[in-house]
A = this chain, B = another copy of it.
Amino acid sequence: MNLRIAIFDDNNNIRDSISLLLKTEKDFEVVGSFAHVLDCVEEIKKCKPDVILMDIEMPGMTGIEAVKTIRKEFPHVQVLMQTVFEDDDRVFESICSGASGYILKNSLNTRLIDFIKELQYGGSPMSPSIARKVLTKMQQIPEHVRPEATPDYHLTPREKEVLACVVNGLSYKMVADQLFISYETVRSHVKKIYEKLHVASLTEVVHKAMKERIV
């Protein structure tokens, strides 16, 4: 089974040379090659890629914007960012936008095929210097922001479902419909949740659940 690849890069030469390179790999198929991302949603719908190589610098919409859109519209598609620059903000922003990997263009020729294969097998290829930046960034993230060992309130699976609904703003009645149970059952679960979280109102539940990422 072939891996379908699409390329977004405003430099025609680069697109062509990448295409040529990828064609040397039997299992790869370049199904699209585009100079900008303005119509990327339509183009992706048409060519159905599994993997997208995305240049970060492009006219019109930037690669970063595009990744956000793509990840929203096509969550299963893997996006591998490529750039000549490695300035911290962009790297970080790209990753937060949902890129699955981030490589420098100078490592193109030699290792691109390996990187794509790594993607395919569930990895996240990064150029060494990028990987270092990412780790450093993570280490800088202030203590209080990190998922600091989420306390376990011993909610049952069902309670967690109810909690998730409530946190999303649903009323008891709506939760009941959503989970195909009665209003009273929802109430029972919520009462249990109140006990376990030591709170006494829905707003507190939402607050606590979101703050501590129990949801």
> Which residues of chain B come closer than 8 Å to A170, judged between CB atoms?
203
Q: How far is the CA of A54 from the CA of B123 in the complex (A)?
A: 22
Is A180 on the interface with B (CB-CB < 8 A)? no
Q: How far is the CA of A40 from the CA of B204 in the complex (A)?
A: 34
Interface size class of A (residues with CB under 8 A): 35 or more
> Which residues of chain B come closer than 8 Å to A196, judged between CB atoms?
none
Q: Bits for A93-136, please: 1 = Cβ < 8 Å to B, else 0.
A: 00110111100000000000000001001111111110110110
Nearest B residue to A202 via CB reads B203
Task: Please tell me which stretch of A16-24, A41-49, A152-160, A206-214 contacts chain B, meaning at least 4 of its Cβ atoms lie within 8 angstroms of it.
Answer: A206-214
Known: A131-B125, A203-B202, A207-B206. A138 touches B169 (CB 8 A): no
> Which residues of chain B come closer than 8 Å to A142, judged between CB atoms?
96
Q: Bits for A145-168, please: 1 = Cβ < 8 Å to B, else 0.
A: 111110000000000000000111
Known: A167-B207, A206-B207. A134 touches B139 (CB 8 A): no
Contact of A92 among B126, B147, B201 (CB under 8 A): B147
Contact of A124 among B134, B141, B201 (CB under 8 A): B134
Nearest B residue to A128 via CB reads B123
Taking the closest CB of chain B, its distance from the CB of A172, in whole angstroms, is: 11
Report 9 cross-chain contacts, Cβ distance below 8 Å, ordered by A residue: A95-B139, A96-B146, A122-B129, A123-B131, A123-B132, A202-B202, A203-B203, A206-B207, A207-B210
